[in-house]
Structure 1
Amino acid sequence: MPKLVLQLLVIVLLSACTSSKKVKFDDYIFKTKSEKQSYIKSYDKSLEILNVPYMEEDIKTSYGIAHVIIAGPKNGKDLVLLHGMDASSTMWYPNIKALAKNYRVFAIDNLMEPSKSTLTSKPLSVEEIVIWYNEIFNHYKLKNFDIIGASRGGWLATLLTVQKNSEIDKLVLLSPAQTFKNVDQKRKASAALFLKFFPNKKKLKKTLDAFAYYPDKISPVYKNQFYLANKYSKSNISFLQMLPFTDDELKKIKNPVLVLIGDHDVINSEDSLLRADEFLSNGKTETIKNAGHFLSMDQSKEVNEAILDFLK
């Protein structure tokens, strides 16, 4: 990581960790109540572009309220969606209609990021994250289900898959962050850090230009929600928990796995796919042309088809 970016990261994290201001349990993610309300309003606007019948449910867990978007036939095979960092479950708007045609989809908002889930405890450890997701899976009685994770969601999906007694069947990873290797193009990827720490529309554009091959294809409604997620939420250190999985951990995964990355991805490269091919005994890898890290938006039709073909 460039020295300037690393120094900036350390300064912001230290200031966040040493603040003497007393924080309420329901205020770990958002800075103020009014800013949270503005973000939720933008989230609801994004729900309008899902283009599929859905329902929202809030589930009480040991660490807070889990918000889940559910779509698809009740008799379809269960499919869990885990979104990317600060993206929330509405990021699946280009994909959920295709996925929900035959699958019962459960899109879960991450508890420690801006979303409709609400953290009511201290930030979670890796072990507590696993417990939290399993509480949701148990609530819905999910057995032998498939899971798709994008970016940080891919790391989380992999973490859940390597656990003992995991009920996950097939695993789809869309440019999973910090899963097979560290960030590939650190300088370009640092645009997201600057957006988080000093949010403005110029930095939003720079971030989208770096992470998407076709940034203009992203819905303006969703762009606004993503911007407010960065503008109104607090910096947190949860991404520092994300270390690439060891060779032995990857070898434990016997599940069928599909790994997709974009050919212009700033997070992963061909090296990620080579490592996946080497250590996943039942893995399949593919590079999506004319796609960046946001490949599910850049090439939604091709990505949807690749996923559905693999899951069948």
Structure 2
Amino acid sequence: MEISRFKSEKIHHEFLIFYDEAMKKLPVPQDIFDINTAYGTVRVYRFGRQGGIPILLFPGRAASTPMWEPNIEGLLKTYDVYSMDLLGEPGLSTQTKPIKDSKQQAAWVEDVLMELKLPKVHLMGVSFGGWSAVNYAVHYQKYIASIILLDPALVFAPFSLKIILFSLITILPFVPESWREKSMSWISGGAEVDSKNSTSLLISIGLKDFIIKTPPPKQFTIEQLNSIQAPILVIFAGKSIVHDSAKALEYTKSLSIHVEAEIWPEASHAINGEFPDEINERISKFLSEPTVSE
């Protein structure tokens, strides 16, 4: 099994330029860590010095820390925020060893949290980052205070045909660039996507020019989900093309664990950028509940 990588050094260099530009839009990190794990080096940023239980961000597929630009500043008013570039995805984390299964995908997250020495942490993930957070919780639970999921992919419902089509458009080499731009607008609920925006460029390069060699994610079984002890907040996007949000919401009702789930009708899969203030407010309400904060 190979290791995830950019298609060329030239593309990697271009990516790093856009990454640096995009990071300038975020608050200045208090600390920057490059943490050695069993499967590679993971880049982690710490924003804020509030104290208390921090929030750890898991970005979506082909994305990295800059994608959280709409959310971090608001979250910092109440919480410390850590964000990491996922191993095996385009970013400043570097995979050095093949990752063969979901247990190994969770193991490197455990290595990160052990090194950070955080007694407890709230996990927050969007899209595939939501899957990654839940995958970690299925295998390791010691450090988890709660889990916050924004339109998580392949957690409570299977992929839709629309997202499979989107994936093909973004990765096939012969697809015109104009189609790729339209597909990015499609996943964002029809909103115009600024193709010159550094964060948009990062995701575009990540989808088209980064070869992901981690195992394809699989939907969790009901037994796996019911093994999670931490309380969960999940917000589904009513306009998501990733899954049928109504069926995903219904599925959460069959679980025997603490899950607060809801659909935001006007949100697309790009929910974190569309409703940052509302998301931060909902998170604060969730984390202040006695069943979560105790």
TM, length-normalised to structure 1 = 0.84
1:157 is matched with 133
| Amino acid corresponding to residue 258 of structure 1 in structure 2 | L
1:244 is matched with 219
User: In the TM superposition, what are the counterparts of 1:175-214 in structure 2 within 5 Å?
Assistant: 175-184=151-160, 186-187=161-162, 189-198=164-173, 201-213=177-189
Q: Which residue of the other structure, out of 64, 70, 74, is the alignment partner of 1:88?
A: 64
User: In the TM superposition, what are the counterparts of 1:16-95 in structure 2 within 5 Å?
Assistant: 28-51=4-27, 53-73=29-49, 75-95=51-71
Provide the C-alpha distance between the structure 1 equivalents of 2:67 and 2:205, rounded to a whole number of angstroms.
14
Provide the C-alpha distance between the structure 2 equivalents of 1:180 and 1:203, rounded to a whole number of angstroms.
29
| Amino acid corresponding to residue 227 of structure 2 in structure 1 | K
Query: Any idea what the Cα deviations from partners look like across 1:207-242, whole Å, max 9, x if unmatched?
Result: 22221126337682211111122232125353x2x2
Provide the C-alpha distance between the structure 2 equivalents of 1:202 and 1:256, rounded to a whole number of angstroms.
42
**1:225 partnered with 2:225:** no
Residues 152, 206 of structure 1: alpha-carbon distance in 2 compared, 3 angstrom cutoff: same
Q: Does the 8 A contact of 2:88 with 2:214 survive in 1?
A: no
Residues 41, 164 of structure 1: alpha-carbon distance in 2 compared, 3 angstrom cutoff: closer
Q: Does the 8 A contact of 1:254 with 1:280 survive in 2?
A: no
Query: Any idea what the Cα deviations from partners look like across 1:91-132, whole Å, max 9, x if unmatched?
Result: 111001111222221111111011110011124422211211
| Amino acid corresponding to residue 199 of structure 2 in structure 1 | Y
**1:307 partnered with 2:283:** yes
Provide the C-alpha distance between the structure 2 equivalents of 1:214 and 1:73, rounded to a whole number of angstroms.
38
TM, length-normalised to structure 2 = 0.89
State the SS of the aligned residue for 2:234: strand
2:233 is matched with 258
| Amino acid corresponding to residue 236 of structure 2 in structure 1 | I
Provide the C-alpha distance between the structure 2 equivalents of 1:61 and 1:237, rounded to a whole number of angstroms.
15
Give the C-alpha shift of residue 174 in structure 1: 0.8
Q: Does the 8 A contact of 2:88 with 2:212 survive in 1?
A: no
Structure 1: gaps spanning 5 or more residues: 1-16, 18-22
2:292 is matched with none
State the SS of the aligned residue for 2:236: strand
State the SS of the aligned residue for 1:215: coil
Give the C-alpha shift of residue 72 in structure 1: 1.5
Give the C-alpha shift of residue 145 in structure 1: 1.3
2:109 is matched with 133
2:261 is matched with 285
2:77 is matched with 101
Provide the C-alpha distance between the structure 2 equivalents of 1:136 and 1:164, rounded to a whole number of angstroms.
12
Q: Does the 8 A contact of 2:106 with 2:140 survive in 1?
A: no
Q: Percent of aligned positions with the same letter in both sequences? A: 25
Which 10-residue stretch deviates more, 211-220 or 36-45?
211-220
Q: Does the 8 A contact of 1:290 with 1:298 survive in 2?
A: no
Provide the C-alpha distance between the structure 1 equivalents of 2:242 and 2:228, rounded to a whole number of angstroms.
22
State the SS of the aligned residue for 1:129: helix
**1:273 partnered with 2:285:** no
Query: Any idea what the Cα deviations from partners look like across 1:167-220, whole Å, max 9, x if unmatched?
Result: 211111111111112113x13552233212236531332222221126337682
| Amino acid corresponding to residue 96 of structure 1 in structure 2 | I
Provide the C-alpha distance between the structure 1 equivalents of 2:177 and 2:32, rounded to a whole number of angstroms.
30
